[in-house]
Each structure stands twice: as C-alpha cells, then as structure tokens.
Structure 1
C-alpha cells in the first residue's frame, strides 16, 4: 500500500480545508465546534452458527481512536466512560490510539481512573494503535491500561467463557509501528469456535481473512474525518484506504470486518458528515452462515 508522506498529507489536508471553506463559514464552525462532539451509538447484530446460545444477546462495546490530548480532553473522555457504562456491556474492547502524542501528554491518575471506571463483567481488552507505539508510548500505554484492568492482546488471545461455552477474542500488534503476527495470536485456537480479532488497522483484514476468524473489529480510519456530499471521504491513513467505515464482508471468506470512525480527531480538529461513534455488537446464535 502507498505510504502517506508528510507532503501528501498536507496536500490532502489543504484540500479538505478548501472544500469546507467553499461550503461557507458556518460549515467550518460546525466541523470544528459541533460535529466532533455528536457521539453516535451504532448497534449491530452478529448472528452466526458458531456462536453458542449461551452468548445470545451478549453485548460487546468497541471504542477506538480517542486521541486524548488533541482537541479531546479528559473531561470529554469521562463522559464517554459514563455513556459506555450506561449501555451495560458484557465485554469492552478498545482498538487503539488512546492519546494523540504520548511523549507530550501530561500523564496523571485522571486518565487511569477514568479507564478503571469502565465496567464489563467479562473483561476489558485492548490492542495497540500506531499513535500508542509512536512517541515512545509503548511501555507507558501498557502500564496505564494494566493499572485500569485492561488486558493487552498483542499477538495473543483469550477465551471468553459463559455457561461452559466459549468464544475466542484475539488481537494483533499495530501494523504500522508494531510487529503483528496473526498466526501467533491464534496459536492453538480451536478453529470451530467463534473468533473475534482486534486489529487497529482495517486493511489487514485481507490477510486476517486467510485464518479461521469470523469477525474483525478495527479503527484507525476515523472514517476520513471529513466527507463531502457526492465525493465521500477525502483522506484516510495508510492501511485504512480500502476499508474506511462500517461493515464489510470479505469476498470468498467467512470474515466480516467492522470499521469504527472512532472518537477523537488527529492532525486536523475537524469532523464533517463523519460523526464520532462507538459500536455495540449483540451476539446471537444462528443456524445460517450469514451475519444478520
């Protein structure tokens, strides 16, 4: 895939700004001051024969790309925590990019305490994003998330158990700055069990699809942050150029991919026709081989 250079990013960013300016000052104000705060809760039903009836109506909440520190502060994150808890998740997953610039962020107990308040009886899990590894944040992120009772899935997996039934939750390292290893993450996994893969970058789905994985949850794209009528998104980062937002069924494979637009912004503090979002996935057993 083509790597995004600083020059190409600035060119695309300038195009975004010019496009919004052309739509008027009110649009610019809306994109900076209003839409970034309009959180959308998207609910998805996942029905597969590999899901045990014991997990019917089991709720997984995914949040991603908070980018705390860049036009998204701890007070906003605390409100997000409250919203997630109100949705009563069974399981919480975070798919990367917690803070925007780890080497410049003012690390304190407020963030750890907010993360710790997230409640899910079957656990809280996370994977690294490129911003988490960037800026020497790898060890600091691991320390903070562990203190907040989040379990890291870095080329590894865990077994979620209920009423003697199980499914697999796996995760890989960040594609851009980490060392992802799908085979290692699924080592000794029963391929007949329902399996969910957490991967920050969505475009790795074309590789994940070659493995016995049913669902991949990703972020990274921000949905492009800025979309225009009849044009769509103007820019997405490397490894989020093919799969940008929403659900995709990977052709000729069992894998379904869900890409979150995420919460925060990066590089430019705008969202236009691309609201921040969290996902609530409700599992259901099914006799068909299709996602509902």
Structure 2
C-alpha cells in the first residue's frame, strides 16, 4: 500500500467511525441499501448489426444472498428487472455470500426462473460463487433456473439474420480466466461483449478484440465519502471501481456497483445498481 492510499484509507476510516456513529449509521445500514439506482447507458458501434437496434440488456451483480439480503428482496428485484422488459439478462457473479453456510432450497430457483428475457439469461462465476465449495451448487441452481453459464466460452446472440458474440470469463481469484479460449468462436466482424467478474481484468482484455466489458465485484466501494471516494475495494477492483471507463481505443468497461453488501452491511453514497444497456448501430 502506497502512502497516498494509506492516508486516504486512514482518514476515511476515521470519518466513517465518527459519521456512522451518529445519524448516518441508520441511513447507511437501513435506508441506502434498499435505494435501487437504475443506470441507463447507450452503446453505439458500427459493429452492431441493424437488427439489434434498440436491443435492451439488463445487468445485475453481487446480490450476496444470506448477508443482509433476503429472498424476499431478490423477488422484488426480479419484478423490477422484468418491468424493464429486457431482451437479454446478464448476471456478473456472487449470487450467495457464503455458499457453505447458505440454506439452499427450491425457493431461490423459483425466483430466478421468474426472470424473463426472450434472448436468454446468462451468468458467470464470481469469487464468492467458487468459494465455500459453491462451484457445483451454483451451477445446478442457475441451470435449473434456465440460465446459461459462460465460463471461458461464448454464446452467439441471434436476431433475424444477424448476431453478436457474448463471452464470459471464469473468476480471476478462485478460477482460471482465459480470454483467448472465451473468444475462440469469434469472427472478425463480430461485435463482442465480455463478462468478467473482476473489473481490473480490463487491462488484460484490452489486448483482445473485445468492444464492451461488463463487470461487478467492487460494490462501487460500498462506502464512499465526499472528496475521498471509495475507502476500500477488493483485489482486482482497485483501479476500476464504479461506472464507465474508456480503457483503450476499442474497449469500454462498465463496472456495476452491485445489489447486496458483503463484509459490512452498509452503503453510503453508493446505492445498489442495475445497468440497462441499449444497443444502437452507428
């Protein structure tokens, strides 16, 4: 940790201690975690076929069920996503906070099954999904809920006589991401979207023919202070934390702030977030 980062985190921790011990504690724990923010983004590219004009994609991430996020809250979220009428739904990792301590039953599958998107529902592993012996049970849950796993592979999304490529990476912390393998079916003309749980992988992805990277993992920092920003983000989310980044001439990265919380049940100046992307041919 360099001196600037140390001072930032020390000052931020001190301000958090004093701030959250007062009236903001109730807000950060009880109010803001339930204030959903819907971020709408337009993606324009000459690579996007005309058939996908106004094609709508909804991304959600990092629900961390079991850590101050319940099935009832997830069911409310599903209703809100369906009301957006997406063509495609993407989940970018960390469904359950501690898979080895979670009470698994068919209720979770039933709720995820209710998500509706005519062009499909796709997911990738996050570090919490692989952790706690969760790899197999997460796969079985999403499979039963009609989601398709992208783990160093891709799926071609079709409309009329056109298509684009949707690829996904394995988790960087507890898996084995392989960008080349995920793009093996790509053709030179394909508009390409890549799902990667950890946003900092963008510095590697930029060397490949990827147009858009969608990530989560950072939670946007969860607690952000004016003039300081995020106090802490996990490994592989230290450079790209929240929002939109132009990583290279070709690659644009969007980092979703997630739905749930982890480690601490607080959000401050960092609301839970859904991303809605609308495609436009250039």
Please, what TM-score do these two structures have when normalized by structure 2?
0.95
Q: Which residue of 2 aligns with 1:289?
A: none
1:25-80 residue CA offsets vs partner (Å, 9 max, x unmatched): 11111101100000000000000000011101000000000000000000000000
* Change beyond 3 A, Cα 1:134–1:15: farther
1:199 counterpart (181, 196, 200): 196
Gaps of 5+ in 1: 3-11, 287-292
Report if aligned partners of 1:21, 1:28 keep a CA contact under 8 Å in 2: no
Match of 2:141 among 137, 141, 144: 144
- Aligned counterparts of 1:18 and 1:29: Cα–Cα separation in 2: 18
SS in 1 for 2:244: strand
- 1:202-236: per-residue Cα shift (whole Å, max 9, x none)? 00001111111000000000000000011100000
C-alpha separation between the residues in 1 aligned to 2:216 and 2:12?
Answer: 21
Q: SS in structure 2 opposite 1:159? A: strand
Is the CA contact (8 Å cut-off) linking 1:20 and 1:28 kept in structure 2?
no
Once the two structures are superposed, the pairs formed by residues 103-252 of structure 1 within 5 Å of their partners are: 103-251=100-248
Q: Alignment partner of 1:103: what SS? A: helix
How far the C-alpha of 1:19 sits from its partner, in A, is: 2.1
Match of 2:77 among 77, 80, 99: 80
Of 10, 16, 19 in structure 2, the residue corresponding to residue 20 of structure 1 is 16
Asked if the contact 1:126/1:150 (under 8 Å) is kept, the reply is yes
Measured after TM superposition, the shift of residue 15 of structure 1 is: 6.8
- Name the structure 2 match of 1:260: 256
CA contact (8 A) 1:20 1:27 kept: no
Cα distance in 2, alignment partners of residues 195 and 262 from structure 1: 23
Question: Which residue of structure 1 lines up, in the alignment, with residue 273 of structure 2?
Answer: 277
> Aligned-pair distance for 1:17?
5.6
CA distance in 1, matches of 2:100, 2:186: 37
Whole-Å separation in 1 of the counterparts to 2:264 and 2:15: 14
1:48 aligns with 2:55: no
Distance 1:255 1:180 in 2: 18
C-alpha contact 1:170 1:197 (8 A) present in aligned 2: yes
Report the alpha carbon displacement of residue 180 of structure 1 after superposing the two structures with TM.
0.5
Rounded Cα–Cα distance in structure 2 between residues aligned with 1:119 and 1:16: 41
Q: Using the alignment, how far apart are the partners of 1:118 and 1:15 within structure 2? A: 42
Q: CA RMSD in A?
A: 1.7
CA distance in 1, matches of 2:264, 2:25: 12
How far has the Cα of 1:16 moved from its partner? 5.5
- Cα deviation for residue 21 of structure 1 reads 3.5
